[in-house]
Amino acid sequence: MTTRQTLFGVSLDALTMDGTVERCLAAVRAGERLEIGVVNAAKLVNMRRDTALAHAVSGCDLVLADGQAVVWASRLLRRPLPERVAGIDLFMRLLGEAEAAGHSVYLLGAKQDVLEQMLRRIAVRFPGLRVAGSRNGYFDDSEQPAIADAIAASGADMLFLGMTSPKKEIFTAGYGERSKVALVHGVGGSFDILAGVTRRAPERWQRLGLEWLYRALQEPRRLGKRYLTTNVSFALMTGRELLRRTPAPSISTASRGES
C-alpha cells in the first residue's frame, strides 16, 4: 500500500518515479492487473465537468501527478506529493524494463502512419523489446470489444494507450480487464512525440512547469485557448481550496479591548 493524498476530491498516490516503476513491475511479475491514471491541471479541471472522466480516473489502481502544477498545488495545500511522474517518462522507463525482463507490450493509439513511425523508432531504441501487437487509435465505440479481445489474444503483458482524454480513460475503465494485460497505462500524446511528429519541451521548461506553454506554442489555434482556460480554472480551484483549508484568525479578548 502507498500513501494517498486527496486533492480537489481526487485521491492521488504519493509515489516517486522509481516507486511507480517498481509497483508496475511487481504487478506484471505477479500477473495482477494494474491500471494507471495520470492527472495534470487541465484534467483535474475537466474531471469536475465530466463525470464519466472523473469516474474512469478514480477507478484506476494508481493515480499519479503528471503535471508539475499538481505537485506545486499539493505542497501549497499541505497534501504533498513527492514529485511529478510524467506519463511519457514512465512509458519510456517501462519499455526499457520490459525489454530487459522479456515482457511483451501492446501499443494502441495515434494515426496509422504515426504509429508505424513510432514502432520503427522503438525498434531502434529497444531492439530486444517484444511488441505483441499494435493498432491505431481511430475506431468507433462499437469496435472496442473486438479490440480488447485482440489485445487479450496477443498475450501482451503491458498495454499502452496513445490516445487523448477522456477516450483512453474510458477504454481503460470499460475494457482494461477484458484485455487481460497485467498493466494498462494511458500515455496520451507520447506516441506523437516518440514518432517525431511533435516535440517535447526542453527540461528547463519542464522544471518550470511550462511544458503546457511549449505545447501551446506548437499548436496555438488548437491548444492555446484550451490551456489558458484550464490553467486559470486550476489556479482558482487551488485558491478556493487554500481559503477553505485556512482557519479564520481567532480574536483575543485583548484585541477586543476586554479584560
Q: Per-residue DSSP letters for the chain?
A: ---EEEETTEEEE---HHHHHHHHHHHHHHT--EEEEEE-HHHHHHHHH-HHHHHHHHTSSEEEE-SHHHHHHHHHTT---S----HHHHHHHHHHHHHHHT-EEEEEES-HHHHHHHHHHHHHHSTT-EEEEEE-S---GGGHHHHHHHHHHHT-SEEEEE--TTHHHHHHHHHTTTTT-SEEEE-TTHHHHHHTSS-PPPHHHHHTT-HHHHHHHHSIIIIIHHHHHHHHHHHHHHHHHHHHHSPPPP--TTTTT--
Residue 186, in any domain of the structure: yes
CA neighbor of 2 nearest in space, from 25, 12, 60, 91: 12
Separation CA 70–CA 238 (nearest Å): 10
Q: CB burial class (10 A; 0-12, 13-18, 19+) of residue 127?
A: exposed
Give the other-Cβ count within 10 Å of 5's Cβ. 17
Q: What is the phi/psi pair of residue 65, to 5°?
A: -85, 105
User: Residue 19 domain-assigned?
Assistant: yes
Answer yes or no: is pLDDT of 153 > 50.
yes
Q: Helices 41-49 and 51-58 sit at what angle, rounded to 10 degrees?
A: 120
Is the pLDDT at 9 greater than 90, yes or no?
yes
pLDDT at 119 (0 to 100):
98
pLDDT average, residue stretch 195-206: 88
Query: Which cell numbers in the block locate residue 53?
Result: 472522466
Is residue 169 included in any domain, yes or no?
yes
Looking at the structure of the chain, the number of domains it has is: 1
What is the per-residue pLDDT for 251? 47
Residue with cell string 477553505: 244
Amino acid identity of 191? F
Contact 42, 8 (CB under 8 A): no
Residue 81's domain comprises 4-202
- The verdict on residue 210 lying in a domain is no
Residues 120-146 have pLDDT tens digits of: 999 999 999 999 999 999 999 999 999
Q: Residue 244's pLDDT is what?
A: 87
C-alpha cell at 218: 506548437
Cis peptide before 166 (omega within 30 of 0): yes
Q: Tell whether 237 is covered by a domain.
A: no
Confidence class for position 226, pLDDT limits 50, 70, 90 = confident
What is the rounded CA–CA span in Å between residue 100 and residue 13? 26
- Phi, psi dihedral angles at 124 (to 5 degrees): -75, -45
pLDDT at 186 over 50: yes
pLDDT above 80 (res 224): no
* Residue 59 belongs to a domain: yes
